[in-house]
Amino acid sequence: MSILEELHALRAEGLGAISAASELTALDAVRVAYLGKKGSLTGVLRGLAGLSADERPAVGKASNEVRDALEAAIEKRRAALSATALASRLIAEAVDVTLPGRRRAPGHQHLIERVTREIVEIFAGIGYRVAEGPECELDYYNFTALNTPQDHPARNASDTFYVEDLSGDVAAVAGESDVMLRTQTSPVQVRVMEKTTPPIYILSPGKVYRRDVADPSHLPQFTQIEGLVVDEGITFGDLKGTLEHFAHEMFGPSRKVRLRPHFFPFTEPSAEVDVSCHVCDGAGCRMCKQSGWLEVLGCGMVDPNVFGYVGIDPELYSGFAFGMGAERIAALKYGVPDLRHFVESDMRFLRQF
């Protein structure tokens, strides 16, 4: 084969390889194979040295043409492959804006939060304001100033979560510390009365803690809502009327209220309050254990001893207080048989409300 024929064949072969290259890397390999330092065309040109002076110009020209042709074909192919690569990347990375979005499941208030707010609203409607206090409380507020005797069982380490005094003065031994997780929201009464001249109309919702094992009617942590009224001439009749209003708003306008004598250290007299069962209207059912009544809260007239601790003159003022558990009210209102459902975070239960 003459060198011109060789060049001709090389050109045809090279152009074929170029159009066969389906990716940019393959195309680059073709370029090296033909035009690179050790490439085929370079190899042919080396043979130029052995040619006569007559032949050289024609072969030189032909080889330049082959090189130009291959280079032009490579550039063209490169442009085409780059365009395809870009197009397929755009397809692969495309976002289909017509697809429906992924919905975020909206949350909603936990039933206990809702019932707590509902209770607050009822009392806000008759002029009470919300007062809050610390969940980590001093013995003085949780017990002593609430007229609780030193030997009262609620003070036992088996009933109350004592915590270490952060000043480090008192050992973290249960029962020897003055600091505890409050067992009731009643200490907020004391904190408010200490700082406020009557009239006082407050409601204090919040978490309370007791060393109880969770069972259908007990939780070691629950929500209590305390109410306190101190004003001139407040009577037991005011207390009863207030609780009737609450029962009607919470459980329905035809509810009846019954008070049973009871004992609390901080009130005298004290009572437990029942509301006629809203499920059977007092006839007796599973909800009210056939009694027709549901026990909803504790209450009483503020004990003059408590006024003594906070410097309010019991000759001038009188007051009443009451306390209820939001979990219990919610369970009664919605027929929940076990308080533990409220804290187990089972969405099948919670979504119902």
Residues at the interface with ligand DAH (CB under 6 A):
184, 186, 226, 264, 267, 298-300, 321-323
Kind and range of the H or E run holding 154: none
In the complex, the smallest distance separating the C-beta of residue 104 from ligand DAH, rounded to whole angstroms, is 39
60's tokens: 């030189």
Q: Which residue is closest to ligand DAH by CB?
A: 323
Amino acid in the structure at residue 298: G
In the complex, the smallest distance separating the C-beta of residue 179 from ligand DAH, rounded to whole angstroms, is 19
Of 34 and 342, which CB lies nearer to ligand DAH in the complex structure?
342
Closest listed residue to residue 188, CA positions, set 266, 124, 288 = 266
**What separation in angstroms does the CA of 250 have from each of 109, 235, 281?**
18, 23, 14
**What separation in angstroms does the CA of 41 have from each of 7, 8, 11, 16, 78?**
8, 11, 9, 15, 20
Q: Tokens 């009643």 sit at which residue?
A: 186
Of 7 and 146, which CB lies nearer to ligand DAH in the complex structure?
146
What is the distance between the alpha carbons of residues 277 and 285, in angstroms, rounded to a whole number?
8
Contacting residues for 250 by C-beta, under 8 A, at least 6 apart? 118, 119, 122, 329, 333
Of 6 and 327, which CB lies nearer to ligand DAH in the complex structure?
327
Of 39 and 323, which CB lies nearer to ligand DAH in the complex structure?
323
In the complex, the smallest distance separating the C-beta of residue 185 from ligand DAH, rounded to whole angstroms, is 7
Taking the CA atoms of the chain, what radius of gyration do you get in angstroms? 44
In the complex, the smallest distance separating the C-beta of residue 189 from ligand DAH, rounded to whole angstroms, is 7
In the complex, the smallest distance separating the C-beta of residue 274 from ligand DAH, rounded to whole angstroms, is 14
Q: Tokens 């806000």 sit at which residue?
A: 124
Closest listed residue to residue 80, CA positions, set 27, 136, 11, 117 = 27
Of 10 and 299, which CB lies nearer to ligand DAH in the complex structure?
299
What is the distance between the alpha carbons of residues 81 and 305, in angstroms, rounded to a whole number?
94
In the complex, the smallest distance separating the C-beta of residue 302 from ligand DAH, rounded to whole angstroms, is 8
Of 63 and 184, which CB lies nearer to ligand DAH in the complex structure?
184
Of 177 and 224, which CB lies nearer to ligand DAH in the complex structure?
224
166's tokens: 């952060």
In the complex, the smallest distance separating the C-beta of residue 163 from ligand DAH, rounded to whole angstroms, is 19
What is the distance between the alpha carbons of residues 335 and 307, in angstroms, rounded to a whole number?
39
In the complex, the smallest distance separating the C-beta of residue 228 from ligand DAH, rounded to whole angstroms, is 7
Of 209 and 264, which CB lies nearer to ligand DAH in the complex structure?
264
Strand-strand pairing, 136-138 and 257-264: unpaired
What is the distance between the alpha carbons of residues 310 and 318, in angstroms, rounded to a whole number?
13
